[in-house]
Structure 1
Amino acid sequence: MVERAVNFSFVSLIFISGFLGITACSSNEKPPQSALTQEQMASILADVHIAESRVTKLQLKSSDSSLLVFEKLKKEIWKKHKVDTLVYRNSYDYYMTHPKQMSQIYESVNKKIELREKQNNVKP
């Protein structure tokens, strides 16, 4: 069941990566000093996508319940990575305006999720 949900995430990740790859503009601009590194973003995003998969797997009847569970999982992710939501959001916004870098991040996210699946460690 987790595999099916995580596979769905892979389809989403592949689509996003492809889209970003197609629309990527070449920019060597470096992220702001306060932004998370690409590796940090990839680790966090891998955990976020796995958390989304876990919530989907639960098949909760209420979207409110799903949202509450997902918010709890996100708080655990922020704590695990020692990052606050503002730094994450600003970093995410920066990378979304730099498609080439975001595409590289999602390539890393895909690899991280594949590795965790092989190790049967899909918990965020």
Structure 2
Amino acid sequence: MVQILADVHIAESRIETHVLYPDTALMVFNKEQQQILAEHGVTQEDFRRTYRYYLSNLAQMDKLYEIILDTLSVREAKLRATDTTNAAPRQPPVPILEGMKQAY
């Protein structure tokens, strides 16, 4: 659950940064969340059931989010270390909606 929620929060942040319209952001987020769950081998129902469990057990939710924050901090530190040691020029980020242009 820690890795899944860390991935979900990173996706949310990326979407909030790149997608201007709330309805489009929600559509992109739902697709990304499905991909994250698939990568972790978790069904949407299992994820929702587990999340509801934590919502009903807030002390455990607090502990879970302490671990998630640590996980995100470690990921950030690794990215920063990679960025400073990487001698190759950085490529500009690919816009998140690039593959969706034809849908509109």
TM over 0.5: yes
Aligned counterparts of 2:16 and 2:65: Cα–Cα separation in 1: 21
Residue 31 of structure 2 is aligned to residue 81 of structure 1: no
Residue 30 of structure 2 is aligned to residue 71 of structure 1: yes
Instruction: Name the residue aligned to 2:73.
Output: 114
Matches within 5 A, 1:17-96: 41-58=1-18, 60-96=19-55
Higher relative contact order (CA 8 A, sep 6+): 1
Aligned counterparts of 1:43 and 1:75: Cα–Cα separation in 2: 14
Aligned counterparts of 1:100 and 1:119: Cα–Cα separation in 2: 29
CA displacement at 1:61 relative to structure 2: 2.9
Residue 57 of structure 2 is aligned to residue 98 of structure 1: yes
Aligned counterparts of 1:61 and 1:106: Cα–Cα separation in 2: 28
CA displacement at 1:82 relative to structure 2: 0.4
Post-superposition, which runs of at least 4 consecutive aligned residues in structure 1 deviate over 3 A? none
Query: In structure 1, what residue type is equivalent to 2:55?
Result: M
Query: In structure 2, what residue type is equivalent to 1:94?
Result: Y
TM norm structure 1: 0.61
Classify the secondary structure of the residue corresponding to 2:42.
coil
Higher CA-based Rg: 2
Aligned counterparts of 2:74 and 2:62: Cα–Cα separation in 1: 19
- % identity of equivalent residues: 38
Query: Structure 2 unaligned runs (5+)?
Result: 81-104
